[in-house]
Chain A
């Protein structure tokens, strides 16, 4: 009941932050109706970094109340099965929070970019640039909507990364009694540091004294690359494992 309220407030705050970033970077459009000094390079990093913060904060809050005895009693005695309670947590954290964030970002981008694209442009405005594709010279629009720009050449595991990230922070919200976000973040840093070190060392051991072969298109193969698919399934598998542990923790929860 309270989580829904907190979720909507967080969504409102997120909208405010995104709109502020757009306003700060787009002010010449509104003040002078000019494309000069307008920067749109902030959108991708803002989308990724702030999106990460948003979905992790939401996920980290979901079961945070189970650290308090009176709230735990209410949660555990609610006439719904443990699986239903778990499923609700996944729907809220992995689906609604991600879709909610994408929606507010999409709408904000739509409004600001439409305004920008409506400005009449001259030949030397810098809006278009030419690129040679398959021997043909094409005029490319620099000011496209963010999601149009992002939909091409996306690394496949990126699509399920939100599920993976939220599954970790959801587990952290039920695993820790207090300071869920900080403790989960530290745990993630430690584990990823150790995992990175081990993978690095193993790779060094396997690859030493060997000649590298061509890896063209590894990052942009759009699912055609075996390694990319393998990584996607690995991330998906880890996500399912984290969800399973969360379910078990919820089932084992006592007052």
Chain B
């Protein structure tokens, strides 16, 4: 669905954010895009949506060049930005004005999502809380039936029950012809939701692997004492939470936060495991 080849991008020519970045993303997956502040998560998403222009390289989204901003592609892209703006109108007026641009817009699904998210229908958008607004644009975006859903920090501003609802709704929204990319620094919010992890670090993709592959190659477990096999560990109440090579094919649950920290501090060791 998405092909990125040798992408060079930066906000100034002297300091590139991505150097020769290449990646392929496929339909039927929920990708979790992780990285430190300033690693380029939002910039990568903007490149995919055609909101910025690359210095060099090629991006293909469903066969289109996103930089051309062709309506046929824009109809199939739902972008939920971190900072957003909603006009001072009621939901009905907002839907009436915007849904017409999306031929597959599902009004019933939209209404169901609003109910599930507990968003008040009769209120003006400007009077809603940040979290309610966010839930509204997520519901609208999903109801467009877009094939590519890009979300930049979607759980920011959502309360705890809403985060659980968000995970449930996103998991249900995934279909074989849909690709969902979620960027966040709140990695715990993506627990049990994403099926592939993409980590950005130092102008390139530090890790791109499915949860299955990660847990096949790495083992996440609590240990009482450190040993030589440990790649990375964090102290806990009863010892250490550790990441180590999965030599014995053990079943373990992926700890995204631990993996993320391991990637930042022990990049070379982790790369050896994955190569």
Q: Give the distance to chain A from B52, nearest Cβ to Cβ, in Å.
A: 5
A81 CB-CB contact with B under 8 Å: yes
Determine if B71 and A254 form an interchain contact, defined as CB atoms under 8 angstroms apart.
no
Residues of chain B contacted by A148 (CB below 8 angstroms): none
Determine if B71 and A79 form an interchain contact, defined as CB atoms under 8 angstroms apart.
yes
Interface string of B31-53 (1 = CB under 8 A from A): 00000000000000010011111
B88 CB-CB contact with A under 8 Å: yes
A82/B69 contact (C-beta < 8 A), A1-B89, A77-B51, A77-B74 known? yes
Interface string of B80-117 (1 = CB under 8 A from A): 01011101110000100110011000000000000000
Interface string of A63-76 (1 = CB under 8 A from B): 00000111111101
| Closest B residue, CB atoms, query A74 | B85
| Closest B residue, CB atoms, query A252 | B53
A73/B52 contact (C-beta < 8 A), A79-B71, A255-B46 known? no
A81: contacting residue among B52, B69, B84, B94, CB under 8 A = B69
Residues of chain B contacted by A69 (CB below 8 angstroms): 83
B260 CB-CB contact with A under 8 Å: no
A123 CB-CB contact with B under 8 Å: no
* Tally of chain A residues near chain B (CB < 8 A): 20
Determine if A73 and B81 form an interchain contact, defined as CB atoms under 8 angstroms apart.
yes
A2 CB-CB contact with B under 8 Å: yes
Q: How far is the CA of A69 from the CA of B81 in the complex (A)?
A: 10
Determine if A254 and B75 form an interchain contact, defined as CB atoms under 8 angstroms apart.
no
Q: How far is the CA of A53 from the CA of B50 in the complex (A)?
A: 36
A255/B88 contact (C-beta < 8 A), A1-B97, A81-B70 known? no
Determine if A73 and B51 form an interchain contact, defined as CB atoms under 8 angstroms apart.
yes
A254: contacting residue among B52, B84, B89, CB under 8 A = B52
Residues of chain B contacted by A73 (CB below 8 angstroms): 51, 79, 81, 84
Residues of chain A contacted by B256 (CB below 8 angstroms): none
Residues of chain A contacted by B149 (CB below 8 angstroms): none
Q: How far is the CA of A93 from the CA of B79 in the complex (A)?
A: 29
Determine if A76 and B50 form an interchain contact, defined as CB atoms under 8 angstroms apart.
yes
Q: How far is the CA of A69 from the CA of B84 in the complex (A)?
A: 8
Determine if B71 and A70 form an interchain contact, defined as CB atoms under 8 angstroms apart.
no
A133 CB-CB contact with B under 8 Å: no
Residues of chain A contacted by B98 (CB below 8 angstroms): 1
| Closest A residue, CB atoms, query B51 | A255
A80/B49 contact (C-beta < 8 A), A1-B87, A73-B79 known? no
Residues of chain B contacted by A203 (CB below 8 angstroms): none
Interface string of A1-31 (1 = CB under 8 A from B): 1100000000000000000000000000000
Determine if B49 and A77 form an interchain contact, defined as CB atoms under 8 angstroms apart.
yes
Q: Give the distance to chain A from B72, nearest Cβ to Cβ, in Å.
A: 8
Q: Give the distance to chain B from A25, nearest Cβ to Cβ, in Å.
A: 37
Q: How far is the CA of A246 from the CA of B257 in the complex (A)?
A: 47
Residues of chain A contacted by B52 (CB below 8 angstroms): 254-255
Which B residues from 56 to 87 make CB contacts under 8 A with A?
A: 69-71, 74-75, 77, 79, 81, 83-85, 87
Q: How far is the CA of A70 from the CA of B82 in the complex (A)?
A: 9
Determine if B85 and A70 form an interchain contact, defined as CB atoms under 8 angstroms apart.
yes
A76/B84 contact (C-beta < 8 A), A254-B51, A254-B52, A255-B52 known? no
Q: How far is the CA of A82 from the CA of B69 in the complex (A)?
A: 8
A70/B69 contact (C-beta < 8 A), A1-B89, A1-B97 known? no
Spell out B's residues near A (CB within 8 Å).
46, 49-53, 69-71, 74-75, 77, 79, 81, 83-85, 87-89, 94, 97-98, 101-102
Spell out A's residues near B (CB within 8 Å).
1-2, 68-74, 76-82, 84, 252, 254-255
Q: A70-B84, A79-B101, A81-B70 are in contact. List 14 more A-B contacts (CB 8 A).
A: A1-B89, A1-B97, A70-B81, A70-B85, A71-B85, A73-B81, A73-B84, A76-B51, A77-B74, A78-B74, A79-B71, A79-B74, A255-B46, A255-B52
Contact sample, A vs B, 6 pairs, CB 8 Å cutoff: A1-B98, A74-B85, A78-B101, A82-B69, A254-B51, A255-B52
